[in-house]
Amino acid sequence: MIYLDNAATTRAFDGAAQIASRTMAENYANPAGVYRFAVETDRAVETARGNLARALGAQASEIIYTSGATEANNLAVFGIANANRGRRRRFITTQVEHASIYETFRALDALGQEVLFLGVNADGTVRLDQLASVLSENTALVSIMHVNNEVGAINDLHRIASIVARYAPRAVFHSDGVQAFAKVPFEPIPAQIYSLSGHKFNGPKGVGALMIRNGVRIGKGLLGGAQERGIRSGTLNTPGILGMDAAIRHYYENGSAIRAKLMDCKRRLWARISSEVGDVYINGPDINQGAAHILNVSFRGVLGEVLLHSLEEYDICVSTGSACSQKRNQANNRVLEALGLPAERARSAIRISLGAYNEVSEMDAVASAIAESVKKLRTMGRR
């Protein structure tokens, strides 16, 4: 099988799976305990927290572990809304966010807050002119994703942070970093709040984190035993946290080589596809601009969903967009339409997303399978 749906989820690194398994079987103490067995687990968790903080340019005290990015994003948005309870404030996001941000903003709208969805440029990056024009003293939150999960557009968080600081100094800037963390080089994150998810970078599923800068006022998420500074109660998912830590450490050591390989894969694939198949278009940023792991393309006259199933015959897994929206049959239309693409091109889109286990040598077989499938489907369509 050639697995090319790494934006949906990834195979865990062996080291991550092993440490998660060992933590369940051997090192299983609740880190909140006070005997030595528990203190050892707590120490391992705090070392992991320090490693994650270092990757984000944060303090260990600024990391809250969660069950993944859907929870982290909900906590960020509702947490800031709760900290502003009783006032009608402005909440700004974009039209191309993952559902876990988009739907929470729609919920805030239904609760009577002022909610704005910014447009994007043709490459999928947020329109900074629009952002500057809607920021105000009354803005509570700006949430703009780091890398778009459908087309791989990379937003410039430094520019966004400086625009927010200039025009809305009291606003909190959150970024959904799920498709960026470990996929772009580690560097200090200029946002005040940042979300990530372990299973997107070869860690376990069901674990993620929210970085919340010290001093940011945020309401509590889950209530209970007051773990995670009382912001997110619940027994810590130690197998997940320590498995995710192993993946982070792997990217620390091998991240630049992995990213270079992903870029080589993406370029090779596009070079072959674009030379073998006519009428094919990249949706989103130019081949050399976007994130190394995402290539979204449309083949004129071929439905993305039909092509996806044709590639299954070759044992190749791709997607037509975000896993959650695919099942609800909305495809990725909201995002691709926001880029200004006609509905027909959006329906033709497939997302090819690469991961650490892909090799450049696989790309020729993928391109040939795509070329054969597209040719066959176009011929059938003409009959």
Which stretches of the chain bind ligand PLP, using CB under 6 A? 68-70, 73, 98, 100, 145, 149, 176, 178-179, 197, 208, 322
Strands 208-212 and 63-66, bridge-based pairing: antiparallel
336: tokens are 């691709």
End-to-end alpha-carbon separation of the chain, Å? 32
Residue closer to ligand PLP, measured from CB, 36 or 328 = 328
Q: Least distance from C-beta 99 to ligand PLP, angstroms? A: 8
Residue closer to ligand PLP, measured from CB, 69 or 292 = 69
CA gap 13, 203 in Å, rounded: 7
Closest by CA position to 334, among listed 100, 101, 109, 98: 98
Q: Least distance from C-beta 236 to ligand PLP, angstroms? A: 16
Residue closer to ligand PLP, measured from CB, 177 or 304 = 177
CA gap 57, 96 in Å, rounded: 26
306: tokens are 């039909």
Contact between 89 and 139 under an 8 Å Cβ cutoff? The reply is: yes
Using Cβ positions, the residue closest to ligand PLP within the complex turns out to be 68
Q: Least distance from C-beta 74 to ligand PLP, angstroms? A: 9
Residue closer to ligand PLP, measured from CB, 201 or 299 = 201
Q: Least distance from C-beta 112 to ligand PLP, angstroms? A: 25
Catalytic, out of 324, 360, 369, 371: 324
Q: Least distance from C-beta 155 to ligand PLP, angstroms? A: 12
Contact between 84 and 91 under an 8 Å Cβ cutoff? The reply is: no
CA gap 137, 280 in Å, rounded: 45
Known catalytic membership, residue 265? no
Closest by CA position to 317, among listed 268, 361, 350, 291: 350
Residue closer to ligand PLP, measured from CB, 56 or 145 = 145
Question: Which residues are designated catalytic?
Answer: 324
